[in-house]
Amino acid sequence: MIVTVTLNAAIDRTLTVPNFRGGQRHRASQGLSLAGGKGIIVARTLKRLGVPVVATGLAGGRTGERIIEELANEAILNDFARIADESRTSTAVVDPTSGTHTEIYEWGPQVSSEELETLREKLLYLSRGAEMVVLSGTLPRAVDDGFYGELIRDLNRRGLAVALDVEGEPLLQGIVAEPTLVSTTQAAAEAIVGQEFHDEQDFVLGLDSLAEQGARNVLITYDLGLFALVREEKRERRFHIIPPEFEVVSSVGAGDVVLGAFVASRIAEERPVEEALRDAAAAGWASKLELGAGRFDPREAARIAPEIRVVELAPAG
């Protein structure tokens, strides 16, 4: 069983708008609404890959009710802490003509200390016997940046593996709590390391920096692939994972799918590192062929997997 946590759950709306331009009136050619938030996308990925998963987090108001209804429609087991304020809605506008997408996020709800404590107690109960807890996504307004770090320390003390996927100060404070796995984007990693990544060596330095700060294993996604640092026993191994080139429909949520598929393959199924990284990239890139965050066909991922190159890299320096 994997437990995913989404503090800032949402209804994700994806609109297809050819030739999208700011300041103009458009008619969407296609629309799709799903329960969203990074942890929910990870849960959707695990469900599609046949891994037992429970999604938890915070949900409030009519939007929160709809989030829970959408999860039930997808047969994703869930147990959310209810809050007084309204959960958020996020909108992605995908332009198939230019291959770009624009994301618009609401701030999300205000959350009280009592509601956070209810979630903490629920999480500790749900995580009994779990193989891993995945903490993903932004924190609601006014929640302390160290909240994820506190949860990681609590879970570590109980002997649980923890994955973290967040940005900014919550990522920085979460890393030093020593999560089992940190998954992040190139931009978020650059902000933590303090320099831009231009080549393979820069990414390796980024992997090493995040590991030195406390992350035991690291995934860094970027537009064209994935870099990884994985600890096996006492050995650190670094990899560059390179998918084939193809036309992207939508990249929204692809990084979350990569994380979910890696957890499924490496943690739940205990597959070798190279296979787990190939599985993760294949699922992530298969999700770029469909609208809707976290939607992908596992058969398409299996088709892509043999075309993905997994190259082991030397340590930095």
DSSP string, 86-139: PPEEEEEEEETTTTEEEEEE----B--HHHHHHHHHHHHHHTTT-SEEEEESPP
Tens-digit pLDDT profile for residues 78-88: 999 999 999 99
CATH number of 2-313: 3.40.1190.20
The tens digit of pLDDT for each residue in 103-151 reads: 888 888 999 999 999 999 999 999 998 999 999 999 998 899 999 999 9
Those residues with Cβ within 8 angstroms of residue 261's Cβ, 6 or more apart along the chain or in another chain: 45, 49, 279, 280, 282, 283, 284, 301
At 16, the pLDDT band (50, 70, 90 cuts) reads: confident
| Average pLDDT estimate for 36-60 | 96
Distance CA 134, CA 165 (A): 8
Distance CA 310, CA 317 (A): 21
Please tell me which residue, 108 or 60, carries the higher pLDDT value. Answer: 60
Confidence of residue 270 (pLDDT cuts 50, 70, 90): very high
Question: Which pLDDT value is given to residue 95?
Answer: 82
d(CA 144, CA 165): 16
| The two structure tokens encoding residue 70 | 């959408």
pLDDT score of 184: 97
Q: Kindly tell me if the per-residue pLDDT of 316 is higher than 70.
A: no
Q: Which two tokens stand for residue 289?
A: 């062929």
For 213-217, 234-238, 257-261, which range has the lowest pLDDT when averaged over its residues?
Answer: 234-238
Smallest Cα–Cα separation from 126: which of 264, 269, 1?
Answer: 1
Domain spans of the chain?
2-313
| DSSP conformational letter for 160 | -
CA distance 229 to 218: 5
Q: Which of 30-39, 56-65, 100-109, 267-276 has the lowest mean pLDDT?
A: 100-109
Q: What is the mean pLDDT of residues 28-39?
A: 88
pLDDT reported for residue 236: 93
Per-residue pLDDT, 317: 60
